[in-house]
Structures are given as structure tokens and as C-alpha cells.
Structure 1
Amino acid sequence: MAKTSTQYLCSECGWSGPKWYGRCPECGQWGTIEEFRESRPSAASATAGGSSRTAAPGRTSRTTAAAPGTIADRNAARPITQIGTDTVTRIPTGFGEFDRVLGGGIVPGSVTLIAGEPGVGKSTLLLETAGNIARTVADHTATAGNDRNTTASGRPGHNTVLYISGEESLAQVKLRASRIDAVEPNLLLASTTDLATVLGLIEQERPALAIVDSAQTIVSQDVDGISGGSTQVREVASALIDTAKSLDVPVLLVGHVTKDGSIAGPRTLEHLVDVVCQFEGDAQTALRMLRVVKNRFGPTDEVGCFDMSGEGIEEVADPSGLFLSSTGAADARPVEGTCVTFTLDGHRSLPIEIQSLVTSSVLPTPRRAVNGVDANRIAMLTAVLYRHGKVNLLANDLYVSTIAGGLAKEPGCDLAIVAALASAAKERPIARTTCAIGEISLTGQVRPVPRLEYRLREAARLGFTEAVVPPLRRPGSIRGLRVVEAATLRDALDALVK
């Protein structure tokens, strides 16, 4: 018979202990310690390889569902020289941006957590991904002569896509699928909040991909706690991971976020899954960014760009023109108070247009309003501009913003911000074919930035003809781009604000 032990778990950092505290001894947060009871399997069941969770009526247990010898083979220790190094066949999602973020596609048997704000488009992205994979599986099945034992990934039995929703009814999911053109006969829908039913559906269908929306709505009857609590979320994640690894079925798991933007539930949830992605976006714009925070199968600095519309989500393969006020740099009329820089977001170099407005202040304390840039950085750059650039803006109201929700919080954007402020103050426009890249120090020096050559190549590709940069360690030439080196702020302003 299973024994029950009482433990206390912190919902913020995942700390657990036998005693309750008002303040977590690990992370220092107040009121985050919750009581939970966890059933431990007996020694006999553990020796026999049995599961601690009882199978629900009408379905087999996860242990008996696996092929004979699967558990023994997985638990047996083998010499490292006998372990194969065959390349895993990834499953394409139908979105090139999504595949690049994941490192080339979805790995069979992996569990990927997709987190984001409410209404940002997580369910839409995953439902459209499910339709793409179901369409691919259907096309391959038709080509193979309707052989149910053959799929696009070469794995037997995986010829459907299973979408399980714990938040919406089947009719609501069907309406969204019709709107985004994701209705496919191989796409199976289910609406349930019971963990045993979810696991039973995955074991019964053996799909090419299983999507669970979301982790906070699924409830296990084997443990105590409310839906979305620390105990339930950890139990749901552990059960889905066990099933995914045993059946070689990839699972995309939707996760909610808290008010501060972190993933809801215990921190152990992020440690358990294989991949953690953040789906970000501003409610005022249609731009959506998919960032990978953790990836056991690829890099963790990739970013995917998507465009949200009424017909669904479309990928943006080249987001360079999204953050510029004009699509063409060469034929655009120069405007005072603007300057273009190039920032790094993962492996991508994106152009960011800085716009500034300088007005006389009638207030005792001049106003500093910013959007897309760091307010503290603006205060520091204003002081450096006055001391080393001989441009006094201390008594003026300053308004600094970016285009289309772009972020210019990297130190490499300092030179463009200072140039935009000086251009607005002197009423001298900067040429649209000129960009500025560099970090400004408190001593007025222009410091180098990482991967400068990569940014300059992107600037040349977009039609920029001149770039003001810090002194280069390895001078080189880029076709079509004139590179102007500036060691100090005064030299940079002389080259930019003519």
C-alpha cells in the first residue's frame, strides 16, 4: 500500500521541506509555501517496475502500454561505446520561424512549454501548427497508399495530431480552426480537464504530436490541490513527460504566466520540460516574438517573428522593415531627430529607428518620456551629451521612442540615441542612408559592440551606404558601405549631424 507524506512546497522557486514557513527560506518570498501530500510507491511496486499512478477505468496504464522490454531497456546501463549516435528526425511545424527557434523542428518524445500573456496568441499558434503537421501527415499517408503504419517521420502508428483543450469546448476550437484554415481530418480534438483522460487519449491514439492547452487547467485525481496549484502543475508535467518519453510522442504544453511575466507554477516545471519558449507581443501591435529560454536540442538565443491577424498567425521571415518608418532607405526624405541603429536579438541583427523630440520645458523639472528605450539610460546619455558633446539639453523636455514596438535597450544603441537627440536639438537631419552603432561611455568615448561586422553586413544588405562605428580592431571593407570610425562622441556627432 502506498504511503503518504506531507511536504511543503514554494510556488515561486520550488523549495520543499517538512515544515511550513511564512517566508520561503530559499527565495525570500512571503506567503508562497503551500502544503501538499505526495503518494510514494511501495517497495514491491518499485521493484516490479510498476507505476505509482492507478490506471483510470477504460484505459491501460503507461507501463503496460509500452512495448515489451521497453522499460527494461531504458533503465539498463550500457557501455557508452554501444550507444548509437544516429541523428534524430525532427518534425517540421510548417513555420520556418518556429523550426529555427526549436533548432530545426520538434524532437520526437520531447516536451515543449509555450508560455505567454493571455490573448497573445499561444492557442492560435499551436492550433495552426497542429493543422500544418496534420496536413503533412495526411499528404504523406496518401502518397504511401494509405498505409497507417507509415508516416512522414518514419515512425509507425503516428499518423494523427491530437489537440486537447482544457479551456475551450470542441465547438470553440473548431471555430478558431475554421478561421485560420486548420481543419484537417487527421486533426483530433478533445476537451477535458482530467489528467487520466488526457494520458489515455495519448496512449490510445499514439499521435505524431500532442498539444495540451493548458497545464494549469488539467487536474489529477491522485494528488491534492486545486487546479493550477503547485502540486497539480508538477504532477501534470511529470505525467506528460513520462508518457512522452515512453511512447515517443512529442508534447506541446501551454503554460500561463503570472503578473510579473514569469511562468505560473513551481520553478521545477521549467526544469522538467525539454524546451521552454516565451511568446511575447504588445497588445497595440500585431508583432509577436517567440523566444527560446531553454532548449536541450538546440541554441537558446534564437528569436522567431510572427504577425498576428484575423486570419491567424503568419511568420515574418525578414522583419527588417518592421522597425523602420520607411521601407526604402535610399529614397526616403531625411527627417530631423531620427537615426537608425542595428541591434542584436539572438542571432538576428535588426534595424531599429530611434526618433526623438526636443522642446522647451515650462515645468520646474523637465519631462523625460521614453518608449522602447531605457529611461535611466536616457538620463545618463543626456549628461554625457552635455559634458562631452557640448549640446545642452538638461532644461528641455525629451521624448525618445522607437518604431513598431522595437526595443533599443542594448548599449550598442547609445550612439544612435545621442545622434537623434543632437539632430532634434540642432534641427539638422541625418541622412536616411546613414546608421550609427556604438556604446557611449561616461568619458565620452565610443566603445565597440559585439558582432559589429554582422550588423554592418545587414546594414549594407538593406541599402545603407554609411555607418558611424567605434574604432575597428580588424579593419575590413564591406561592399557598398562606407565605414566611418569615431573614437569620441564629438567625432561621431561631427560625422552624423553635419
Structure 2
Amino acid sequence: MSKSTSSFTCTSCGAVHKKWAGRCDACGAWNSIVEEAPLSAGPAAKSLGAARGRKVELTTLQADEPPPPRTASGMEEFDRVLGGGLVPASAILVGGDPGIGKSTLLLQATATFARKGLKCLYISGEEASAQVRMRAQRLGLADAPVGLGAETNLRDILTTLDAERADLVVIDSIQTLWADMVEAAPGSVAQVRAAAHELVSFAKKRGTSVILVGHVTKEGQIAGPRVVEHMVDCVLYFEGERGHQFRILRAVKNRFGPADEIGVFEMTGAGLAEVANPSALFLSERGQASPGSAVFAGIEGTRPVLTEIQALVAPSTLGTPRRTVVGLDSGRLSTILAVLEARCAIPFAGLDVFLNVAGGLKVTEPAADLAVAAALLSAREDVPLPPDMVVFGEISLSGALRPVSQTENRLKEARKLGFSQAAAPERSKAEGDEGMKMRKFSDLTAFVGEMFAAG
């Protein structure tokens, strides 16, 4: 029988070491490595081997169970991201940059749920109760029946939740909690993992919905161990640029609804206001047709969203031209520039390229490739695109244009906002909505030849 060996884990970053050391090689923290005995060597393993457990009741895949009930808050954008409303006993993790408005959003959502009849608690570990009350008064939520507390001790919080029997609990934030049975500093990997496990287990046992606020790293990921994202049912990111008033609530994981669904909010003096028609808002500042501008008909989750992609191409005085991208993947831009140069013989060497998605929206859909190429070519040739045209399509490395999904929804949204023509791949399934003219292209060379022949 093989001999079991202990492992040594860093309580700050979670890195596993073969032996103890005073300093963690992964994160550089001192005195953070602790020994963790394997389950096979502990007393629990001996008791498991001596005693028999109970048999787990099994069911079939054909079990006819009703879908989980949902409670709508009345904030349609928030409910949309959750998949239609709040599910009992669900655990939700919300992350976002500092100062982006996470606490404001959740305080508004908690107040709306409380006014719907749910018993709601708001536990803050970062602010005093008086500070939260000041925000509630500024937002006009002081009369909402929300229980407010300021505490970081996990044991005290669980005791309070067990006594109150609330329907919804907001913990702001998970990194500020500390469990007295874990010998680590608050915010460390061990503390965050223990606090998340206890709160998620409480939610499942008591039927209480728990919303956890998580800090993010400089890379934009939620700080702490990734196992926390696996524990919870929903992972939401609150995105936005400081210089823009728009905020995007995006679901990257949802066990009760579609992932990649978004809700759009506008930051105002009275808090976050819902945006029912994001396309009209993102295009509200768009003026007359100008070079370097292309309107992309995209899909975010289940909703079509029209956004403006702006490009600027200028001669460079540097040895290595600049490539500045906001709202898009910089690697995707490099790929599109390489395809334009290799397949269409359009060089961008010696030229600075600046690309931006208007309104602060982040676009990750490959269908934006053709719109990006159109904006770049329009800026380089100084030829504006038709002002009533939307563009979408994926570009392959061979220069061919590949069709994208939900073409009908893209065209319907474009026609609703007054656009009358669309540039799309040749094999797109839709033939065009009523009043929409489809201009289809087989490859990027055909698109460049027809749209920029005079340039």
C-alpha cells in the first residue's frame, strides 16, 4: 500500500508545494505555506472505512419536475441577466472594477426585491451602516424594508442569517469576511474559499438566495480561488468605462438561464437607470457619415445590439507603429490587419491604428470582424460607408467571409433603427427583412472591391 504524503499550500495564492518553505515562489508571500494532510491519512478516512454510509436515492432523466420558481424584481435588465428573475436557494457572484457601481446596483436590486415582499438583508463588510444609509437616501430607497448590517465575522453572519430566515442576502464583499477556524488573513485564498463554501452551503440548506460581491484583479478576473466561481450558480460581471455613463451587467455563468446575457444601465445622479433600447443609446451620438465609422449589428446573449466601431489610421513617426484598441481583442485586430495585407494587398505598415467601440461596450463576437475591417478600410482610404448600412460577418484566415448566427434578429433590430441595407457574408441564411437590402460578399476581396473601389 502506497504511503500518503502531505501537501503544502500557500494561503495567499493557492499554489501547491512539495515541501514547506518560508516564502512562496508563486506570489512571494512570507510564512503563508501551510501543511494539508490528504483525506486518506486523516481520521475521517478511518471512520469512512469502518462505517457504511446511506444509499443515495437515484432517479431517471425522465423525472418530471417543475422548473424552479422565480421572483422578478421589477428591474427588467437585472432580471434578464438572471434568466427571468431570482431563483430560491441560488448563489450569485457579482464582480467588477472598484467604483464601477456594484454596491449601488445591488442596493437598488435589494430594495426592489424587498418591495416585492421578500425579506432581504444587506450585510456590508466594507462600509459602516451609516454610509450605506446615506447611499440609500441619495437613491431614494430609505423607505425600503431592507435589514442592514455591518459585519465581517463569518460565524456571526451565519448565526444572524439562521435567526432571520431571510429570502435574499447580499454580502458586500466576500473578500472582507474572515472565518475564525481558518488561520489566514482576510482576503486570502483560504479565507475566501472557506467563506464562500459556508455561505453557498447555507443557501442550499435554508433556501435563501445569496448574492456575493467579489473584488477583481488588475487582469479583470474575480480575486481569490477559481473554485468560488464553480461553487456558485451565477457569475455576473459589472463592466463599464469610467469616462462613460453606460454600465453592462454580463452573465458569464448561469445555471438557470442563458450565459452571455447582458443588461444595460446608465449611471445618473439618482443611481443606475435601466436602458430598454441599448442600440438607440449606443448610436445616439452618431452624427453624419464620416470615414472610419461602421455600425456593427451584434448579438449579446439573446438580444441584438447595434454599436458603432470607430477607427483612425494615421502615418506613424515611430519605428513600430502603434496599435491601440478599446472594447475589442487586440489579437483579433492583428489578425484582421494581417488578412487585409496578405489576402487583399492592403498594407498597414508605417501606419498607427486606433480602434474603439463607442459607448464603452466590449465586443467579443467574431461576427464583428467584417465591421472592424470596414472601419479600418474606411479610415485608411478616407471613404465613408453608407450611413444607412450595418455590417457583420466573420473573416477567416483565407480571407473568406463566414456566416454568423441569428441573422434575422440582427436585420430586424437594424430596420427598427432606420437602417435600410446590410453587408453580410454570402451564405447568410436570411434574405433580408422587409425594407432591408442585403449586400452579400463571398470573401474580403470582393467586399473591398465593391465598397472601396473609388477609394
The TM tier, using the shorter chain, reads 0.7 to 0.9
Q: CA deviation at 1:484?
A: 0.9
Deviation string 1:97-116 (CA, Å, 9 cap, x unpaired) is 11121112111112211122
**Partner residue, 1:231:** 190
Alignment of 1:38-77 (within 5 A): 77=56
Structure 2 residue aligned with 1:267, among 199, 215, 226?
Answer: 226
Letter in 2 for 1:340: V
**Following the alignment from structure 1 to structure 2, what is the Cα–Cα distance between the partners of residues 431 and 183?**
50
Is structure 2 residue 114 aligned with structure 1 residue 123? no
Q: Distance in 1 between matches of 2:15 and 2:320?
A: 46
1:404 matched to 2:359? The reply is yes
Q: Take 2:415 and 2:185, find their aligned partners in 1: how far apart are those partners?
A: 56
Which residue of structure 2 aligns with residue 55 of structure 1? none
The answer to whether residue 432 in structure 2 is matched with residue 467 in structure 1 is no
Question: Deviation of residue 372 (structure 1)?
Answer: 2.8
Distance, in Å, in 2 between the alignment partners of 1:16 and 1:83 is 42
Give secondary structure in 1 for the equivalent of 2:106: helix
In structure 1, distance between residues paired with 2:22 and 2:400: 50
Report the equivalent of 1:196.
Answer: 155
Q: Do the aligned partners of 2:9 and 2:36 also contact (CA within 8 Å) in 1? A: no
Q: Which residue of 2 aligns with 1:297?
A: 256
1:221 aligns with 2:180: yes
Larger radius of gyration: 1
Over 3 Å counting, the alpha-carbon distance change for 1:300 and 1:76 in structure 2 is farther
Q: Deviations over 1:49-94 (max 9, x none)?
A: xxxxxxxxxxxxxxxxxxxxxxxxxx88445379771332212233
Counterpart amino acid of 1:125?
L
Report SS of the residue matched to 1:458: helix
3-state SS of paired residue (1:80): coil
Structure 1: distance between partners of 2:101 and 2:202: 27
The corresponding residue for 1:102 is: 82
Deviations along 1:422-449, one digit per CA (max 9) or x if unpaired, are 3333333221101222233444333323
- TM superposition shift of 1:320: 0.6
Matched position secondary structure for 1:431:
coil
TM-score by length of 1: 0.78
Tell me if structure 1 keeps the 8 A contact 2:20–2:35.
no
The answer (yes or no) to whether the contact 1:135–1:184 under 8 Å persists in 2 is no
Question: For the residues of structure 1 that align with 2:431 and 2:277, how far apart are their CA atoms?
Answer: 26
* 8 Å contact kept, 1:468–1:484: yes
- 1:351 equivalent to 2:306? Answer yes
The Cα shift of 1:29 comes to 4.5
In structure 1, the residue matched to 2:51 is none
8 Å CA contact 2:13, 2:26 repeated in 1: no
Question: Match for residue 114 of structure 2?
Answer: 134
Q: Check whether the contact 1:12–1:266 (CA below 8 A) recurs between aligned residues.
A: no
Q: Quote the offset at 1:198 in angstroms.
A: 0.7
For residue 472 of structure 1, give the secondary structure of its aligned residue in structure 2.
Answer: coil
Aligned twin of 2:9: 9
Q: Alignment partner of 1:404: what SS?
A: helix
CA apart distance, 1:383 = 4.6
Number of positions where the alignment pairs a residue of Structure 1 with one of Structure 2: 437
Match of 1:414 in 2: 369
Is 1:35 equivalent to 2:38 in the alignment? no
In structure 1, C-alpha distance between the alignment counterparts of 2:428 and 2:144, rounded to whole Å: 59
1:446 to 2:401 alignment: yes
| Inter-CA distance 382–108: structure 2 relative to 1 (3 Å threshold) | closer
Unmatched runs of 5 consecutive residues or more in structure 1: 48-74, 138-158
| Among 171, 183, 188, the residue aligned to 1:212 | 171
Give 1:364 deviation, angstroms: 4.6
Q: 1:482, CA displacement in angstroms?
A: 0.3
Do 2:248 and 2:361's aligned partners in 1 also have CA atoms closer than 8 Å?
no
Pairing 1:286–2:223 present: no
Tell me the secondary structure at the aligned position of residue 174 of structure 2: coil
Alpha-carbon distance change, 370 to 118 in structure 1, aligned in 2, over 3 angstroms? closer
Residue 343 of structure 1, CA deviation: 2.5
